[in-house]
A and B are shown apart, each in its own frame.
Chain A
């Protein structure tokens, strides 16, 4: 089962920052927060991930609260092409290179309005 809670939908005006919240109150110390998005009829696209510290890349910023129980994905200047379902996923780290599957919830549908 997904370990995260996200609002089912959000709206954002084009050109404004989109702030997508995620609650992961049961996260444990070795678990990462990952964000993916899925534009209609396409495969999921990796956005960003983090463990404790805030992270930024060319697509977005990830802000993780100090207690790590919630996080926010920030798209600084949303465009119409950012309209998608955004998934917040908590993944345990594994030692020695073992892998683990992604467990998706139903995500947040972000609608960017012109």
Chain B
């Protein structure tokens, strides 16, 4: 399978613990996105990388959250001092840049990591 992969698929942790999620994008996709989805809502954007550069961060990404993409391939999302409100599905997506001129990129999503904070 050459799609976006995420690890782990499920994580249960206690409040106050740190957690780290990993995303492996589709090979050769240089753009990588993180989203968060709570129950009954659509996904919400967290942050975006182009290669190793983090180019955009949402206000949802508090200072307890940090994302990296050190070599422009896989990415990690770390949450420090987890809170019960962090319980959600964390989704990763990747894309290729669009062609020249006015255009858009099509993002392909992984299966997500479901975080439960007790």
Q: A62-70, A71-79, A88-96: which one contacts chain B?
A: A88-96
Q: A43-B112, A87-B42, A101-B48 are in contact. Are A95 and B101 (CB under 8 A)?
A: yes
- CB of A46 within 8 A of CB of B106, answer yes
Chain B residue, CB-CB nearest to A89: B42
Q: A97-B98, A103-B45, A104-B44 are in contact. Are A43 and B104 (CB under 8 A)?
A: no
Confirm or deny: B95 has a beta carbon within 8 angstroms of a beta carbon on chain A. Answer: yes
A96 to B105, CA, bound (A): 11
Contact with A along B35-69 (1 / 0, CB 8 A): 10000111111001010000110100000000000
Which residues of A lie under 8 Å from residue B100 when comparing CB positions? 96-97
Which residues of B lie under 8 Å from residue A45 when comparing CB positions? 109
Which residues of A lie under 8 Å from residue B91 when comparing CB positions? 43-44
Interface class of chain A by DSSP: loop
Which residues of A lie under 8 Å from residue B102 when comparing CB positions? 30, 93-95
Confirm or deny: A21 has a beta carbon within 8 angstroms of a beta carbon on chain B. Answer: no
Q: How many residues of A contact B (CB 8 A)?
A: 29
**Listed A/B pairs (20) with beta-carbon separation below 8 Å:** A30-B102, A32-B104, A36-B109, A42-B111, A43-B93, A43-B109, A43-B110, A45-B109, A46-B108, A91-B104, A92-B104, A93-B102, A94-B98, A96-B100, A97-B103, A99-B31, A99-B48, A99-B50, A101-B48, A101-B56
